[in-house]
Copies of this chain bind each other. A is one copy, B any other.
């Protein structure tokens, strides 16, 4: 079988990460071109990962007849448009989350994908993490029976820059979106209603920028499950990523990942090093695995494991969470959907 020819759009942090994973760790792929509005960024990425072509105009990627699939790793506001153009160019698409911050933009992009009959995978990498996969497996296999409660802890080690906060779409669409996806993925049912309690407890500047930095979001699923998401922009001990489910036949929970397992006892305490600090270190394997799954889906003409709809629903949840926070009342997703 021929390797899959790929073009990467966006050579920022996540674009470079994917470039490295594709070129070094994903069999049966051939990265032909990388595009970035910054010529330096594109060239540097190309040189580092021995990618043949570096361009500044992403349309060069879309127009290349050899390229079969594209990775969209540019800024969020360009995602939906590029999905449309890539679909029209007949390319299979891997797009970083979120697809867009507005539903019409997403719907237009998904419609283009449908029309073109190309594959689209959204970059919810955490689904490929060994801990969460194990939880999903437990749920699927009935290991803990019928689920009743899910609790997701998702805290960043430190808030992003205020500049980033201002263009992020807000914590619910920027950060919680991963947890919304995780909630659906693990429970295997759709959320119907959310209720948000949130506040500014980390940095007043985040509040001045119109955002929150701490939130607890309650979820009600169609199958009756009740969920909570616990978000903070600052956990001084590192990246805190855990989940816990209760079912009729038991419970399952995951722990953080650590750089080593050494435990030191001295005259003061029994202690270990802090957990892995942030997403690049913590989710290393899941980034590799999501690309392998995408490549596999394209090469063998299988559905991608994270569909366009999977990219859309967490945005609906994020919009509902924001509305619930502003109005201090439970908000049904259908309100946002048809709003």
Binding site for B on A (CB under 8 A): 24-25, 130-131, 133-135, 138, 143-146, 148-149, 151, 153, 155, 195, 197-199, 201-202, 214-216, 218, 220, 224, 226-228, 230, 232, 234-238, 240, 246, 248-257, 259-275, 328-330
Contact = CB atoms under 8 A, between A and B. Distances in A.
B214 A195 contact: no
B262 A138 contact: yes
Contact of A195 (B135, B273, B330): B330
A131 B259 CA distance: 8
A259 B254 CA distance: 12
A32 to B, nearest CB: 17
Contacts of A274: 265, 267-270
A232 B197 contact: no
13 contacts: A131-B261, A143-B264, A145-B236, A146-B201, A149-B216, A151-B151, A199-B226, A201-B248, A216-B228, A218-B218, A235-B246, A238-B265, A250-B266
B232 A214 contact: no
A40 B253 CA distance: 46
A216 B214 contact: no
Q: Copies per complex?
A: 4
Contact of A262 (B134, B201, B224, B235): B134
Nearest to A216: B226
A131 B273 CA distance: 11
Contacts of A275: 265, 270
A235 B143 CA distance: 14
A130 B260 contact: yes
Contacts of A254: 260-263
A251 B273 contact: no
A259 to B, nearest CB: 6
Contact of A131 (B250, B262, B266): B262
Nearest to A148: B201
Given A145-B236, A236-B266, 17 more contacts: A130-B260, A131-B261, A131-B262, A134-B273, A144-B264, A148-B199, A151-B228, A155-B246, A235-B251, A237-B251, A250-B264, A250-B267, A251-B265, A253-B262, A253-B263, A257-B261, A270-B271
